[in-house]
Structure 1
Amino acid sequence: MEQFASFGTWHFIRALGLLAFFHFTLSLVFGMLGQFPSLKMKKALFHHLHLTSSWGGLFTAIAHMILLLWDSYQPYTIKEIILPFLSTYEPIESGIGTIAFILILLVMISSDLWMKVLKYPLWKKSHFLVFPAWVGMLVHGILIGTDSSNPLITAFYGGALAVVISLFVLKIIETSTSAKKQMKQ
């Protein structure tokens, strides 16, 4: 029972941050997988998983930010949460997280509300903001996370990074191979 005595708001904040990163990583991975022509038979499934995990990430990230208001150790103000680099606690690291969230929010709003207004080519370009947003989340979590030195957390972040980089490399290879085939025809 002693281990639960010290379990406070900060633990929930950290768990929600990790869970939000996990959801957004899944969203990024499924979004990328849906772009592989070789996996077009699974495109609808990947799209569904991409949307579901992005909404899970958004709601989890919002819960993460709301709990920061009530933390007894290092409470944030609303201004510190929504305006980058104004936090009294780790302003750079907190600001990176805020910017990452704003970028994700812009992508999700553009996807659900502005897609018809933006038209597909501009929407597609704006969707690439997820990549710097995801990197920002990764950096935010590693730098501000009180448990980032924990081997399991390090493996979690390292595994996520390895999967995303691997998909980038595979996409480049597939695109290059496809372009070479088209040139031969």
Structure 2
Amino acid sequence: MAEYSSILLEKAVDELSKLPGIGKKTALRLALHLLGEDKIRTEQLCKSLNDMRNNIVLCKRCYNISDEPICSICSNPKRDETLLCVVADMRDVLAIERTCSFNGLYHVLGGIINPIEGISPNDLRINELLGRTINEDIKEIILALPATIEGDTTNYYLSKVLKDFKGTISTIAKGISVGDALEYADEVTLGRSITNRIPYNK
């Protein structure tokens, strides 16, 4: 086990290595980089992280991350409010927005049905989705969930729950590889999957 000459450095490396995709070596490089930076820049980074963690909230309409009670996407009058894209989490919103291929609104479920991990339909924002179909003028719902067994299970469950929805229910085209999360798809492929969406077969 590596020995550090500074306990403070060791603690910083330990915390950084808890981040996804960051091993001990990368964490050490980052810690040493920050140590060599101007103190003001390091303080700005710490402040930004604290502000993000303490002040970001969930949009009361779509449940995406937001600085305000209603996010900038939901409050944008140029967005098509008749088109609703259902995604698993906030990372999917960011991935789709990067494609510049979608101009509707979102609904973030907060996950997908996964019995192995103990996630049931009751743990997701499905009732809120149903409420939006009743209270908003939605003409089409796009199911943009991961191309996994869990994603397909959630799609099927939603199609049954939305049986009384009078509009169109579609799903993204299968340009996304089976087993892939949306956030890892390249922007062109994901954009085409949204544009070339197909009716969902119940």
TM norm. shorter chain > 0.5 = no
Radius of gyration: which is bigger? 2
Q: Greater share of helix residues, 1 or 2?
A: 1
TM-score by length of 1: 0.27
Higher share in strand: 2
Higher-RCO chain (CA-CA 8 Å, sequence separation at least 6): 1
